[in-house]
Amino acid sequence: MPPKSAGSAVDSSRTAYGDEEFSRFLRRGFLASSGYDDVDLERPVIGIAVTTSSYNTCHRDMPALVEAVKRGVLEAGGLPMTFPTISLGEILTSPTSMLYRNLMAMDTEEMIRALPMDAAILLGGCDKTVPAQLMAAASSDKPVLLEVVGPMMTGSWRGERMGACTDCRRLWASHRAGELDTDEITEARGELVTTAGTCAVMGTASTMACMTEALGMMLPGGATPGASTGERLRHGVATGRRAVALAEQGGPLPRDVLTRAAFDNAIRVLAALGGSTNALVHLVAVARRAGVDLKLADFDTVGAKVPLLVDCKPSGQNYMQDFHHSGGLPALLKVLEPELDTTTIGVTGRALHELLGDVPARQQWQSTIRSLEDPLGPPGALAVLRGSLAPNGAVLKTSAASPHLLQHTGPAFVLDADQDIASVLDDPDLDITPEHVLVLRSAGPKAAGMPEAGALPIPRKLARQGVRDMVRVSDARMSGTSYGTVVLHCDPEAAAGGPLAVVRNGDLIRLDVAARRLDLLVDDDEVQRRLRDYVPPAAPQRGWGRLYAETVLPASQGADLSFL
């Protein structure tokens, strides 16, 4: 039997056979069949979570990134070992990838715990993969780094630069309005998603990549390099090298990185980005896993002084390529330095103020990242609302909303998630006006897994009259690439007996963003009477859907499972 090494990850956790030495003997025997000898197995073992899938087109080029990461591990003297986890492709997962975020987090956490490794690198990118991996990391007791595939490049149609998926929604709205015919929308479709990578705008994927870097769970400069670039691969190599150093040093561990100060910094960065509303749900979930008391209201107060600085769709006009070429997140952090806690220490092991010392001052030639003195928009890019329609909170992305609708009172037009919504809204005889408030209910976590259905389409008859925005209210989410005056994440959700459950057609709803209010203008006694008669939709009866519905927390608490 080869000499025993107390420092080898291969020997640190054993399959339970009731005989530890036999377990060690058997493990090394089977590893020998894959070509590993005892010299290999004395190296620091770096587990690499791989989410390549034919169903996840964003991760199409991940195999090249995996090889780059492995090369970095090998160069630093480590042993790379890949392992698969669930891969959540946003577009091909039914009914919504959000339903499976917590399942992926569990899968990843359990594999980090179950498999022998000294440190882990988690490769993701698409919307729910990064939040799930952050949640898993927060629950881990091993060093962890995250690396993303990066955003796609833009395309061009009829001389217009475009990219998924804000432009997808804009062009589809034009098609619904009769401005683009079937041949034109089909032709444009071929230029919307031209390369591998996540959406080309500041949607949820890029927002969460930026949040990961801001939190310190990713090496600097990793959030924005394009998926198809050499810079992305070089960052992967650096990540592999750093993972070996973390394994040898034993940290910092995720719990050392994911501090309250780190989350506060991330909230300020989120405000400057005008990032996805989904980030609120995800960051609260990660904070809960990390033992940090982060509340929904903190997103409105911590970042209250930070204006919108990044000119990226849907809150601006540019794309992730432009943000990256302007310096990416390090350049934004440099601009935000007066507003940040620069004592935080991430996976580099260096304090933020040291890292920012290596970043040049804002370059005057670029306009994608604005200065604090000359912002793109005022503070409050994301607003947390409360009121009689959302007692525990709701969320609105003001930077992507219509200014004239930020204070609005109108009659409700109610839709249930199980209706054929498109056929209702496409009815040419629909009795509806631009003043109406579209209400979608029974689309929250408990009822439906919280799909990205909140940005309801403008009724076709109004779209053809030129209406491009209406106030919309729901317990659902919307894509980070969406825009419009859309109030989301109403808590309590309808299925949990929230007031949203009993809104009726014609009830007046008042939105007052300046006052941070969302109110149902119906007498409270009448609301309570209606609630007594309310019957929630039937819950799933088996499998993951049942476990999820029975244990999921509300959106304001991150929509994680209660027992996690």
What is the SS3 assignment for 54? Answer: coil
pLDDT at 10: 87
Contact between 520 and 503 (Cβ < 8 Å) = yes
DSSP 459-527: PHHHHTTT-----EEESS---TT--SSEEEEEES-GGGT-GGGG--TT-EEEEETTTTEEEE-S-HHHH
**Residue range 492-501, pLDDT digits in tens:** 999 999 999 9
Let me know: does 482 contact 400? Beta carbons within 8 Å. yes
DSSP string, 434-464: TT-EEEEES-SHHHHS--S--SPPPPHHHHT
Q: Which amino acid appears at position 194 of this protein?
A: T
φ, ψ for residue 361, nearest 5 deg: -60, 160
The answer to whether the Cα torsion of 213, 217, 220, 222 is positive or negative is: negative
Q: What per-residue confidence (pLDDT) applies to 17?
A: 85
> Is residue 1's pLDDT more than 60?
no
Residue 71 has pLDDT above 90, yes or no: yes
Residues 6 or more apart in contact with residue 45 via CB below 8 angstroms: 8, 9, 10, 78, 79, 81, 116, 117, 118, 247
Angle at 387 between CA 381 and CA 393, to 5 degrees: 55
Give the list of residues 6+ apart from residue 534 with CB closer than 8 angstroms, or none: 497, 501, 502
DSSP state of 156: E
pLDDT in tens, 324-362: 999 999 999 999 999 999 999 999 999 999 999 999 998
> What is the rounded distance in angstroms from the CA atom of residue 418 to the CA atom of residue 404?
31
pTM (predicted TM-score): 0.95
Q: What is the pLDDT of residue 3?
A: 35
Predicted confidence band at 11 (pLDDT cuts at 50, 70, 90)? confident
Distance in angstroms (rounded) separating the CA atoms of residues 392 and 296: 9
pLDDT of residue 94: 94
Mean predicted confidence (pLDDT) in 46-74: 97
> How many angstroms separate the Cα of 406 from the Cα of each of 208, 310, 334, 356, 471?
26, 21, 32, 37, 9
Question: pLDDT tens digits, residue range 262-321?
Answer: 999 999 999 999 999 999 999 999 999 999 999 999 999 999 999 999 999 999 999 999
Interval 434-443 mean pLDDT: 97
Confidence of residue 6 (pLDDT cuts 50, 70, 90): very low
Sorted by where each begins, the domain ranges of the chain are 1-42, 43-153+196-357, 155-189, 381-557
How far apart (Å, rounded) are the C-alpha atoms in residues 238 and 516?
Answer: 44
Task: Dump pLDDT digits (tens) for 369-403.
Answer: 999 999 999 999 999 999 999 999 999 999 999 99
Quote the CA–CA distance of 464 and 447 in Å, as a whole number: 33
Computed over every residue of the chain, the mean pLDDT equals 95
Question: Is 70 exceeded by the pLDDT of residue 5?
Answer: no
Asked if residue 48 lies in contact with residue 27, where contact means CB atoms within 8 angstroms, the answer is no
Residue pair 231/158 in contact by the 8 Å Cβ criterion: no
The packing angle between helices 230-249 and 62-75, to 10°, is 40
Task: State how far the Cα of 131 lies from the Cα of 136, in Å rounded to an integer.
Answer: 9
pLDDT band, residue 7 (cuts 50/70/90): low
User: Are the CB atoms for 261 and 290 separated by under 8 Å?
Assistant: no
Burial state string for 287-297 with b = 16 or more CB within 10 A and e = fewer than 16: bbbbebebebe
CA dist 214 and 262 (Å) reads: 7
Q: What is the mean pLDDT of residues 80-102?
A: 96
CATH architecture for segment(s) 381-557: 3-Layer(bba) Sandwich (3.50)
SS (H, E, C) 296-330: CCHHHHCCCCCEECECCCCCCCCCHHHHHHCCHHH
Q: pLDDT (tens digit, 9 = 90+) per residue, 491-547?
A: 999 999 999 999 999 999 999 999 999 999 999 999 999 999 999 988 889 999 999
Q: What's the pLDDT at 335?
A: 97
Among candidate residues 369, 363, 47, 95, the one with its CA nearest the CA of residue 224: 369
Q: What is the mean pLDDT of residues 245-251?
A: 96
Q: Which of 183, 126, 144 is nearest to 49 (CA)?
A: 144
Q: Summarize the confidence of residues 98-110 as an average pLDDT.
A: 98
